Chains A and B, each alone.
Chain A
Amino acid sequence: MARIDLVDLAHSYAGNDADPESFALKPISMTWRQGGAYALLGPSGCGKTTLLNLISGIVTPSRGKILFDGVDVTSFSTRKRNISQVFQFPVIYDTMTVGQNLAFPLKNRGVAGPEIAARVAEIAELLDLTPYLDRKATRLTADAKQKISLGRGLVRSDVAAVLFDEPLTVIDPELKWELRSKLKALHRALDLTMIYVTHDQTEALTFADTVVVMHDGRVVQSGTPEELFDKPAHTFVGYFIGSPGMNIVPAEVRGREARIGGHVIALSRGYDKLPAGAAIEVGVRPEFVSVAPPAPGLLAANIERIDDLGRVRFARVRVGDAKLAARVPPGFSIPDSSAGLVFDAARVHVYADSRLVEGVL
């Protein structure tokens, strides 16, 4: 278990002299506490895999330092960093049995036989692999193989951190649930630093205590799932987290009011000092906008379609040029497609140039 510090870390695959804007990972400094569960979340090309590879040592950074418990490991090879990694597809040694696979890292480090056997039995028990210890590893299903990959990392008791690179990619949807909760349970039981890279917000939000949202090589926001959901610091976070994502519409904001398409909606905070010349937008999650029969006090909208998700319904509406998603209360029905929108003022945020503006209560 280790505390991980990133000091001004940056990387470009084109070399240190490349144009700063083209860096795959732009300079970042962060501290990840020991025993934490972190998720790096973002779309393809956002730099999350680069960051993971920098931490594991597969890639040497163009700039900056990485510290494990205060020790500068930037020049250390992967082996010396004492981390373990689970890849997108299961990586197992074909010629060995499950037990031998799990024992492999310990054997390579010269651990004594009985100790190996005890540790392997312990980890196999945690991962529900005990019945398969003597089977050839190639014969198991994909999710069992991923568990073996994971087990090889956990079997070393001094491992600094466990890294996951989109590990559920090849797993069937029904088994994803099991494996996810198993990972979470393991984290609790073993108190390891775990870093999980994914583009799937559900995976990230359910696994991690702290989610690091990345976009275009930068860390956009880092916080707990509730913080990211309730108070996105950037419109990208609002858009990326939540299904459907946050509604972002251009608006005129003055004091405690926002004007969208000629209609005024109340805000729960006052915004007097907005940066001049900035693009002002208002963001509110579809869970906090609902459709209602049209009324003079409500923002008028046109319902284009209603998505029935089983447990909740969302309406896709149009307000002038803007498109929004809004919740449909149960039992709601209207004769035609015009409706009114009701906003939960406490959940409406104001963004200037895509960044959150803190209003005054």
Chain B
Amino acid sequence: MDKTVNQKAWFLVLPVFLIVAFSAVLPLMTVVNYSFQDTFGNNQFFWNGVGWFKELLDPSTDLGSRFFASLWRNLFFSAVILAIEVPLGIVVALSMPREGWRVAACLVILALPLLIPWNVVGTIWQIFGRPDIGLLGYVLNNIGIDYNYVSNEFDAWATVIVMDVWHWTSLVALLCYAGLKSIPDAYYQAAQIDGASRWAVFTAIQLPKMNRVLLIAVLLRFMDSFMIYTEPFVVTGGGPGNSTTFVSIELVKIALGQFDLGKAAALSLVYNLIIIIVCWVFYTVMTNAGADRKPNQGAA
């Protein structure tokens, strides 16, 4: 729709531009600058050109190996949580009531995990999993399972994954529920008339109609999980050792732990670039999927 152009709008947006410039663009430029320097933040800069980038992308160097290891951890993590959250979210959405007061109750309960600040989520699970005072840790150890997320790598991963599933499955469920609600009753009636089994109803009607919504859910969860920082950091701190050190945690270790700002800046830029590419790919897929679904040619 061609709205008639109003020049005054630009003046209203100007303050926002200035603020964004100040708080985002300038710092970004600083980081870009640092990535080409060797510095420890004490105002002494030694030009390094693309040295950090070369080191970063070379798995045989210390920096490179740490980067790639954490990158694989991220990808593994995203894959696992998607494989759990998406089917689980669909099942939850399918089991939710469609009408009546129960709907409101379910929606509120589902929304609760999404409303908790992320570091609080991390803290909840950190305490929850402690073998001495945490309910989960205590119970598990008492029934014979040796559970300790601080010292055991598998336990640490399991805890981080379960925490993310607990935190975010509701989002997938709510999105799927919205998608399901938009299916007119007539489809279910027609399926009944056609003698379709419950599974056939799911595959032939519900899943296709939830397509777009599922795509959004998958994209959101992938992007968010790829950028994850707060929750695992609070629970495991990246440990034991570096077994749950994701790229973001690695970055913080280098920047704030070692004060190796040049390396950190280079790493953060590469990380940023990966995320932007991922976002762009998903955006293209989404808008193309939308165009693909353009209904029939001719009268409608």
Contacts and interface: CB of A to CB of B under 8 A. Distances in A.
Q: Do A and B touch, yes or no (CB under 8 Å, in the complex)? A: yes
B22 interface: no
Contacts of B208: 93-95
Interface stretch (A76-84, A114-122, A247-255, A329-337): A76-84
A58 B189 contact: yes
Contacts of B30: none
Interface in A130-155: 138-142, 149, 152-153
B196 A108 contact: yes
B20 to A, nearest CB: 42
A142 B299 contact: yes
Most B CB contacts (10 A, CB to CB) among A89, A138, A149 go to: A138
B2 interface: no
A142 B298 CA distance: 9
Nearest to B197: A108
A226 to B, nearest CB: 34
B298 to A, nearest CB: 5
Contacts of B196: 104, 108
A314 to B, nearest CB: 31
Contacts of A93: 204-205, 208
B186 interface: yes
Contact of B296 (A78, A84, A139, A153): A139
A95 B201 CA distance: 12
Interface in B122-145: none
Contact of B192 (A78, A89, A104, A140): A78
Contacts of A140: 296
Contacts of A84: 193
B209 A108 contact: no
Contact of A79 (B193, B203, B204): B193
B194 interface: yes
B190 interface: yes
Interface string B256-286: 0000000000000000000000000000000
B298 A105 contact: no
A175 B299 contact: yes
Nearest to B196: A108
Nearest to B200: A108
A137 to B, nearest CB: 10
A74 interface: no
A91 interface: yes
Nearest to B299: A172
Contact of A85 (B184, B189, B295): B189
A109 interface: yes
A85 B193 contact: yes
Contact of A87 (B186, B297, B298): B186
A306 to B, nearest CB: 34
Nearest to A153: B193
A77 B203 CA distance: 22
A229 to B, nearest CB: 32
**Interface residue tally on A, bucketed by range:** 20 to 34
A78 B195 CA distance: 9
Contacts of A138: 293, 295-296
Contact of A91 (B190, B296, B298): B190
B190 to A, nearest CB: 4
Nearest to A85: B193
A266 interface: no
Contacts of A127: none
B187 interface: yes
Contacts of A96: 204
Interface string A87-112: 11101011110000000110011000
Most A CB contacts (10 A, CB to CB) among B186, B187, B209, B297 go to: B186
A141 B299 contact: yes
Contact of A142 (B186, B189, B293, B300): B300
Contacts of A78: 189, 192-193
A94 B209 contact: yes
B192 A141 contact: no
Contact of B195 (A79, A94, A95): A79
Contacts of B194: 104-105, 108, 152
Contacts of A77: 192
B195 A108 contact: yes
A56 interface: yes
Given A93-B205, A149-B190, A142 B296 contact: yes
A139 B205 CA distance: 16
Contacts of A149: 190
Contacts of A104: 194, 196, 204
A96 B186 CA distance: 18
B193 A141 contact: no
Nearest to B194: A105
Interface in B190-228: 190, 192-197, 200, 203-205, 208-209
A83 B193 contact: yes
Contacts of B187: 91
B157 to A, nearest CB: 36
Contacts of A83: 193
A121 B250 CA distance: 63
A139 B297 CA distance: 8
B109 to A, nearest CB: 30
Interface of B: 184, 186-187, 189-190, 192-197, 200, 203-205, 208-209, 293, 295-300
23 contacts: A58-B189, A78-B189, A78-B193, A79-B193, A79-B195, A84-B193, A87-B189, A89-B184, A89-B186, A91-B190, A93-B205, A93-B208, A104-B194, A104-B204, A105-B193, A108-B194, A108-B196, A138-B295, A138-B296, A141-B300, A142-B299, A142-B300, A175-B299
List the 4 closest A-B pairs by CB distance, nearest first.
A108-B195, A105-B194, A87-B186, A91-B190
